[in-house]
Amino acid sequence: MGSVINVGFSLIWETPVLIQGAGFCTRAISGPREALRYLQKDFDQHSGQLYWDAVFSCMTALRYRSAPSVARQYFLFACDNAHIDAS
């Protein structure tokens, strides 16, 4: 019988990341689960070290193997690298 893997789907960041577009907030990303979904579905750039670091850090945070704040920082780095206005 396999073991159970705990996953923190309900993890949220202290401060959401706000994705800006045309001078207004188009989307608020509240935690690593939403960030991972955004990276996989809505992110224009699916390559590069910063993109993969963001994906990996979100996955490790969801598995309780790193702090959610680390995933937030890597997500911001990936957004900046892709020229997405996020704060």
The pairs formed by 64-68 with CB atoms below 8 angstroms and a separation of 24 or more are: 64/6, 64/8, 68/8, 68/11, 68/12, 68/13, 68/31, 68/32
Q: Which two tokens stand for residue 65?
A: 């193997």
Token pair in block for residue 31: 């935690």
> Average model confidence (pLDDT) for the chain?
89
> Is the CB of residue 39 less than 8 Å from the CB of residue 50?
no
Query: What pLDDT, in 10s, does the model give residues 14-56?
Result: 999 999 876 676 889 999 999 999 999 988 889 999 999 999 9
Distance in angstroms (rounded) separating the CA atoms of residues 58 and 71 = 5
pLDDT at 11 over 90: no
Q: With 60 as the cut, is the pLDDT of residue 1 above it?
A: no
pTM for the model stands at 0.87
Q: What is the pLDDT of residue 33?
A: 95
